[in-house]
Amino acid sequence: MTVQIPRYSRILGTGSYLPPRRITNDDLAQQLARDGIETSDAWIIERTGIRARHFADADVTASDLALPAAQAALQAAGIAASEIDLIIVATSTPDMVFPSTAAILQNKLGIAGCPAFDVQAVCSGFVYALTVADSMIKTGAASKALVIGSEVFSRILDFNDRTTCVLFGDGAGAVVLGASQKPGIVATELHADGRHVDVLCTPGSVAGGHVIGHPLLKMDGPAVFKLAVGVLEKVARSVLEKAGRSASDIDWLIPHQANIRIMEGTARKLKLPVERMIATVAEHGNTSAASIPLALDVAVRDGRIKPGDTLMLEGVGGGFTWGAVLLDF
């Protein structure tokens, strides 16, 4: 009788990258003032917790940001790019309409042959991509996956709207996920509700060589806040129930780094002290699909996250999409 050995996926290494151009709140306030738009460092911090963000130069693409993040994750995992047999890039700001940013990144990594594709779930993108990679590894379709969130949101910001342009930044975060007989990713859950498409969107498109519609980000801030806190608590508790665990088992909560008030509100609802939440939003703003792996990498490299720690990753974004991943690091 053949005994079926369980197959799981575990994070083998993490990496991240921020473009070097750092824009403080004061820098941004001065830029907006030239166009007659008033804001201030104090106003931004009070409402968001953000102190700075990084913007990519005009010729830098999402795959350019993804490359050093991927290389750092590969180095941390101690494996060569040639060992990767799956690449998933979560992005809402791809290099081009097609091919996928993942395929472009694959070429920049100097490898070929493995499946490479993008996932578009906006700020929930990394959680979606990680869930897909976990499923493919568990079924044997892949053994070593490179999962990346990479964004150049500065390209789609309306700098005449201070309620949105102060929130976002550019960056990339990556993990290498590998097959294991020991559980790593314990439980996942994904959701979407298209009834809320208009709450957070970039409704423009390209047709006949022209931009059709509004090509810049639009957001109903109060609606996003209300939806986000509620669904993040619910999905976190659902994932814990699937895993047979409780919120007290979470060593580190790593939420999407959107707004410190949303993040702290989620921690409170889960009855977790804010000291057990990884918050990096102050230094890079909302980097959409890149924000969770960015925060994860920062906390791994500064020693807060250690092998054996239980992590709750959760994101919410336009679509309206949301999801969570519970994992043992």
> Choosing from 25, 54, 123, 284, which is the catalytic residue?
123
* pLDDT for 254: 98
* Per-residue pLDDT at 64 exceeds 80: yes
pLDDT in tens, 188-203: 999 999 999 999 999 9
Mean pLDDT across the chain, nearest whole number?
96
> Choosing from 25, 54, 165, 256, which is the catalytic residue?
256
How far is residue 1 from each of residues 4, 120, 138, 140, measured CA to CA in Å? 10, 43, 22, 21
Is there a single domain that holds both residue 35 and residue 154? yes
* Per-residue pLDDT at 56 exceeds 60: yes
187, 201 Cβ separation under 8 angstroms:
no
Find the radius of gyration of the CA atoms of the chain.
19
For 134-222, where are the E strands, in sequence order?
A: 144-152, 170-180, 185-192, 200-201, 205-207, 210-212, 218-219
**Tokens 């980097």, residue located:** 287
pLDDT in tens, 173-189: 999 999 999 999 999 99
Q: Where is the domain boundary, 180, 205, 231?
A: 180
Is there a single domain that holds both residue 12 and residue 32? yes
Q: How far apart are CA 223 and CA 231, in angstroms?
A: 12
**Tokens 């500065």, residue located:** 154
Tokens (6 digits) for 258: 């959107």
Which residue range forms the structural domain that includes residue 131?
8-180
- pLDDT interval class at 229 (50, 70, 90): confident
Indicate the SS3 state at residue 229. Answer: helix
Helices (H), 157-290: 162-165, 221-243, 260-269, 281-284
Is there a single domain that holds both residue 251 and residue 165? no
Q: How far apart are CA 132 and CA 119, in angstroms?
A: 9
Specify burial of residue 66 (Cβ count, 10 A radius: 0-12, 13-18, 19+).
Answer: buried
Q: What residues contact 75, with CB distance under 8 A and at least 6 apart? A: 13, 15
Is there a single domain that holds both residue 197 and residue 170? no
256 in active site: yes
pLDDT in tens, 249-299: 999 999 999 999 999 999 999 999 999 999 999 999 999 999 999 999 999
> Choosing from 54, 259, 284, 286, which is the catalytic residue?
286
Predicted structure pTM score: 0.97
286 in active site: yes
Is there a single domain that holds both residue 197 and residue 166? no
Whether residue 33 is contained in a domain is answered as yes
Is there a single domain that holds both residue 212 and residue 303? yes
Is there a single domain that holds both residue 157 and residue 203? no
Tokens (6 digits) for 8: 């799981």
- pLDDT interval class at 137 (50, 70, 90): very high
Query: Total domain count for the chain?
Result: 2
Is there a single domain that holds both residue 101 and residue 244? no
pLDDT in tens, 73-91: 999 999 999 999 999 999 9
The domain that holds 258 is classified in CATH as 3.40.47.10
